[in-house]
Structure 1
Amino acid sequence: MAKIPYPGKPVRGSKSGAPIMALFDLLGRRWAMGVLWTLCENEPSTFRDLQEKCESISPAVLNQRIKELRQAQFIDRSEQGYVSTPLGRELYDQLVPLGAWAKKWAQKLPDETSVEK
């Protein structure tokens, strides 16, 4: 079974395992948020569909993230493919405004070539 960060246990960035830190640890894993985001916008999706939509993800990483996101109860498997759970959809709905904010933030940053090194 996949090992996910659990609230209340030490996680990356938090000895106490604060729930938000456990969530950030899980979502901070390579492709975790991308898989959830892609699935919420394109469900249901088969393994192959997800791999194609995530472009550069390897089959091994996708398989690991699917296991972790299923264990976290953010996605599940249906007859048609992988789908987000109500909990996963709720998380996605919380992330959408953060994504919009990140775009505003990115526009405020100076051009990368103009930043002093």
Structure 2
Amino acid sequence: MLREFGGKKTMTSYGQFCPIAKAMEVLDERWTLLVVREMLLGSTRFNELRRGVPKMSPALLSKRLRTLTRAGIVTRTPAGYSLTTCGAELVDVVTSLGIWGTRWIGELGEQDLDPHLLLWDLRRTVPVTAWPRTRTTVAIRFDDIPRAKDWWLVVTGDDADLCDYDPGFEVTVTVRTGLATLTRIWRGDLSWEAALRSGRVTLDGPEQARRALPTWIGQSTLAATPRP
């Protein structure tokens, strides 16, 4: 049965007055907080949101967006979707969950690895100010997966583009590695230095570009989280 939350219908009630229970009535459906995460990271259009949750069906994403809109967490605009004041206040909740997950849930299985999500996450947080001001292309090749193994990250000025096909630009440096390895680097479980030293990552290109590559790509915003 649906209930009222701030005058809007949301999820089945836990039947508790506890504020945590009341919040979870809105937020604990599968994928809901990940959709909020994507919006906090700047995604506003439906297709952008889909790229951040590639294993979520379009129909389910539409359903979750409708639920969040009814709950007053998301609003629909001509440009797409945006968080309301209420929704934007979830930033500390999502960040805290990310920190906790980084600290205490470090094991990854094969089902957790996704080149589309990894490269999309990398592209939207890449430190473009550390790159040359002229167009620079980094090719990334995963040597341990049969599909979606070749990617190109193109940075021009302050714009970063991600391609899963050869854009035809001269490649400045090529990264060869495994999907699990780059995922661990991005999460902060493995340093660029250790991965390069062990040969789990190899770089092809001019020495200056090879030296700069770890800075160009960087790591996720949660990578620096201290581990126990």
Q: Normalization by structure 2: what TM-score? A: 0.40
Name the structure 1 match of 2:91. Answer: 92
Residue aligning to 1:115: none
Higher RCO, Cα 8 Å, sep 6+:
1
Q: Which residue of 1 aligns with 2:104?
A: 105
> Partner amino acid for 1:35?
V
Q: Secondary structure at the match of 1:76?
A: strand
Gaps of 5+ in 2: 1-7, 110-228
- Letter aligned with residue 73 of structure 2: F
Q: State the 1:97 CA deviation.
A: 2.0
Cα gap change, 1:106 to 1:53, in 2 (>3 Å): closer
Q: 1:22 — aligned with what?
A: 22
- Map residues 1-117 of structure 1 onto 2, 5 A cutoff: 3-5=9-11, 11=13, 14-43=14-43, 45-107=44-106
- Could you tell me how far apart the structure 1 residues matched to 2:60 and 2:26 are? 14
Amino acid at match of 2:35: V
Name the count of aligned residue pairs.
Answer: 103
TM-score, normalised with respect to structure 1: 0.73
Q: CA RMSD in A?
A: 2.6
> How far 1:3 sits from its partner (Å)?
4.2
**Tell me, what secondary structure is at the counterpart of 1:73?**
coil
Amino acid at match of 2:49: L
> Contact 2:16 / 2:22 at 8 angstroms: preserved in 1?
no
Identity %: 27
CA distance in 2, matches of 1:69, 1:92: 15
Runs of 4+ in 1 over 3 A off after TM superposition: none
SS of 1:30 mapped into structure 2:
coil
User: Could you list the runs of 5+ residues in structure 1 that have no partner in the other structure?
Assistant: 113-117
Give the superposition deviation at 1:29: 0.7
